[in-house]
Amino acid sequence: MSVQQLFDLTGKVAFITGGSRGLGLQMAEALGELGASVAISARKEHELEAAKAHLDGLGVKVVTIAADLGNLEGIPGVVDQVVEQLGDIDILVNNAGATWGAPAEDYPAEGWMKVMNLNVNASFFLTQTVGKRCMIPRKTGKIINIASIAGLSGNPEGMQTIAYNTSKGAMVNFTRALASEWGRHNINVNALCPGFFPSKMSQGLLDAQGDSMLQRIPLNRFGGEEDLKGAAVLMASEAGRHITGQCLAVDGGTLVA
């Protein structure tokens, strides 16, 4: 098999949660460019419509699903919609997430539950549903969990996101544990751990601390619109077929500084 064939996703179906903007849309572009049919979910219809128009313009076959994955009871119905419109899911990208900023000693229960429910619970139950319905019976699948370097370390001074960090640490070990269990089904489970990428979620932090954060990045730049694409394609394609249980930091060197 040629290297080009190893990265080819023609005929594959990818489901990307939180795919209407930011890193999710970036990965949808990448997987679609290499031939995958793409389903993206998000809560807001207008953002999904804009994302679909954008992906249509790139020649990507895409369907959109408006859903709040924090409503765990609705997850089987979301998977039903993807399968009915595109077929069995070959690639699942658990990207949807939330954050909440507050000092640990005053962290509200509402914020903790919101972050953990979407970032951890929804990812697990969606993965379980997709695995049982689409991947285990066919003995094939690629699962990509979007963790964060926040799940691999503590916080720089001034950042108060203990629930987010905890949730992303959970996703790191969820990745390792599931890779150990589902390897026998020929399912690869890996995590991408982005560093600081400008996004709607991170904008407030970057506005307040952007200059000092930049000084801690050896490559001296934040993540850009192309910087997660290659890693996502590697984990989604046959090029990464002997990689599982791994957590790849895409952070400009932040963790090693």
Alpha carbon 27 to its chain's center: 8
CA 134 – CA 88 distance, rounded (Å): 5
Within a domain: 157:
yes
Supply the range of the domain harboring residue 99: 3-249
For the stretch 132-170, pLDDT in tens is: 999 999 999 999 999 999 999 987 777 899 999 999 999
Largest CA distance in the chain: 56
Q: Which of 164, 174, 182, 196 is catalytic?
A: 164
3-state secondary structure of 50: helix
CA-atom Rg of the chain in angstroms = 17
**Buried (b) or exposed (e) across 1-13, using 16+ Cβ within 10 A?**
eeeeeebbbeebb
Q: pLDDT confidence of 83, banded at 50, 70, 90? A: very high
The model's pTM = 0.95
CA 86 – CA 217 distance, rounded (Å): 40
Q: Give the mean model confidence (pLDDT) for residues 227-246.
A: 98
Q: What are phi and psi of 169, to 5 degrees?
A: -65, -40
Within a domain: 158:
yes
Q: Give the mean model confidence (pLDDT) for residues 111-131.
A: 98
- CATH number of domain containing 38: 3.40.50.720
- Identify whether 107 is a catalytic site residue: no
For the stretch 182-196, pLDDT in tens is: 999 999 999 999 998
CB-based contacts of 62, cutoff 8 Å, min separation 6: 28, 32, 37, 38, 39, 40, 51, 52, 55, 56
The 8 Å CB, 24+ separation contacts for 30-33 are 30/228, 30/229, 30/230, 30/232, 30/233, 31/91, 31/232, 31/233, 31/236, 32/58, 32/59, 32/60, 32/61, 32/62, 33/58, 33/60
Within a domain: 256:
no
CA 15 – CA 92 distance, rounded (Å): 5
Instruction: Give the pLDDT score at 159.
Output: 80
CB-based contacts of 132, cutoff 8 Å, min separation 6: none
Q: Percentage of the chain with pLDDT > 90? A: 88
Locate 90 and state its tokens.
């070959």
For the stretch 89-108, pLDDT in tens is: 999 999 999 999 999 999 99
CA 142 – CA 153 distance, rounded (Å): 26
Number of domains in the chain: 1
Alpha carbon distances (Å) from 163 to 43, 112, 143, 155, 241: 21, 6, 23, 12, 32
Within a domain: 221:
yes
